[in-house]
Amino acid sequence: MRKNIAEPPAATEVSVRIEERNGKRRVLVSGEAFIARREWETAYSIELIEHVLRVKGPVWLNDEIMRDEDPSATQSFIRWNILSYADAGDFAGRRLLDFGSGCGASSMVLARMLPETEIVGVELLADSVALARRRAEHYGVSGRVRFVLSPDAGQLPAGIGDFQYVMLSGVYEHLLPVERRRLLPLIWSKLKPGGILFIFETPHRWFPIEAHTTVLPFINYLPDRVAHYCCRRFSRRVDHDSSWTDLLRQGIRGGTVGEVVSILEGGEILSPSWDGATRDQIDLWYQHVRDRGSSLTKHAAMRCLKVLKAVTGTALSPYLGLALKKPGEAPPQTDEHRVSRPASSSSH
């Protein structure tokens, strides 16, 4: 069965078609315009697909669904950047704040990975909150996963309580500098003693290639005014009328561990580990890209970054992976909930 659910004006030249087969739906987006992902097979109902389409539009429709369903996407980031620091069993009976939860893809992944954890998603956009709630209904997890609309960009919703864990996945880079200094302490105040703040899927501020917003080399090292000019002049991904604030909101400046620590002025930086060995941010990045398919190029890039670390002492990777533990003792967790951390499929 085929169903056309979106036929925008001819000027956009983009259409969406759904094909039913084998109990699933194949979503096809076609047209001459840029489309993030043209095809995806999903277990979503047609009604939920249409809801995603209304919120994200045809260009990002399949990409948004993929973030939830593809194990090599959001699930991979969460697996390596959370379970490399804490056992899955540690989260049982605890509360986790998914700050900047967007349309709920990350929260749905968390709900599957941590089935005994209460998850609260906080998001600024009402349409995104509505879609996230619809996703929770789709998966039948509304009882322990809820989404709250934030009053504005500088505050947290009232009455959300405290948490043992807080996650910012692909969020930190989109906060303006003033918002980072205002919001991080507020978020930190909601973290209980002994709790952990996770920040990941954020571009590293000092990586040679700014791959998140412009795909330009060395932009990260230029002064703001010069970087702004070069972005508008040379990047095909940037609107030539974009202001510097627009580019900051899009995530052009990324983040660093030092910046986060300086804002919070406290906390213990944790080291990731698996297979009985201590790891670093390079390992976290490499495990994620391997989940999306290994290649000689990726392996060579990892080796180059390791050599750079050996020479400079700096573990530089394309994406920031940070776990910061709040001072104080967390309540003990019973052994029955503890499980092993993620294991690498192969050694380096």
pLDDT tens for 107-116 read 999 999 999 9
In the chain, which residue ranges form alpha helices assigned H by DSSP? Answer: 46-56, 61-69, 74-82, 105-113, 126-139, 177-189, 224-234, 244-250, 257-264, 281-291, 296-312
pLDDT for residue 295: 83
More confident residue, 14 or 342: 14
How many angstroms separate the CA atoms of 41 and 19, rounded?
A: 9
Q: What percentage of the chain reaches a pLDDT higher than 70?
A: 92
pLDDT for residue 340: 52
Residues 158 and 270 in one domain: yes
Residues 296 and 195 in one domain: yes
In 190-330, which residue ranges form alpha helices assigned H by DSSP? Answer: 224-234, 244-250, 257-264, 281-291, 296-312
Model confidence, pTM: 0.90
pLDDT for residue 7: 44
Assigned token pair, 52: 């995603």
Residues 31 and 124 in one domain: no
Q: Residue 37 sits in which domain range?
A: 2-69
pLDDT for residue 294: 75
Average of per-residue pLDDT across 172-188: 95
Residues 26 and 88 in one domain: no
The verdict on residue 262 lying in a domain is yes
Residues 308 and 173 in one domain: yes
What lies within 8 Å, CB to CB, of 97 at 6+ separation is 120, 122, 160, 163, 165, 166, 167, 187, 190
Whether residue 347 has pLDDT greater than 60: no
Residues 17 and 98 in one domain: no
Residue type, 239: D
Average of per-residue pLDDT across 3-18: 64
CATH code, domain carrying 312: 3.40.50.150
Among 5-9, 192-196, 326-330, the range scoring the smallest mean pLDDT is 5-9
pLDDT for residue 39: 97
Residues 150 and 18 in one domain: no
> How confident is the model over 142-159, as pLDDT tens digits?
999 999 999 988 889 999
pLDDT for residue 205: 95
Q: What is the mean pLDDT of the chain?
A: 91
Average of per-residue pLDDT across 110-127: 97
> How confident is the model over 20-63, as pLDDT tens digits?
988 899 999 999 878 999 999 999 999 999 999 999 999 999 99
Whether residue 93 has pLDDT greater than 60: yes
> How confident is the model over 255-314, as pLDDT tens digits?
999 999 999 988 999 999 999 999 999 999 999 999 988 789 989 999 999 999 999 999
Handedness of CA 254, 258, 261, 262 (dihedral sign): negative
Cβ atoms of 162 and 79 closer than 8 Å: no
pLDDT for residue 301: 93
> How confident is the model over 213-271, as pLDDT tens digits?
999 999 999 999 999 999 999 998 898 999 999 999 999 999 999 999 999 988 999 99
How many angstroms separate the CA atoms of 10 and 185, rounded?
A: 48
**What count of Cα atoms within 13 Å lies in the side-chain half-sphere of residue 126?**
1
pLDDT for residue 12: 58
- Final residue of a structural domain among 69, 91, 120: 69
- Final residue of a structural domain among 69, 102, 120: 69
Of 196, 212, 164, 183, residue with least CA distance to 272:
196
- Final residue of a structural domain among 69, 90, 113: 69
Average of per-residue pLDDT across 156-184: 95
Q: Count how many domains the chain has.
A: 2
Q: Indicate the pLDDT class of residue 9, thresholds 50, 70 and 90.
A: very low
Q: Indicate the pLDDT class of residue 4, thresholds 50, 70 and 90.
A: low
Residues 190 and 260 in one domain: yes
What lies within 8 Å, CB to CB, of 276 at 6+ separation is none
> DSSP assignment of 216-251, as one string?
EESGGGS-HHHHHHHHHHH-TTS-TT--HHHHHHHT
pLDDT for residue 339: 47
β-sheet bridge partners, residue 200: 169, 321
Residues 91 and 188 in one domain: yes
Q: Indicate the pLDDT class of residue 344, thresholds 50, 70 and 90.
A: low
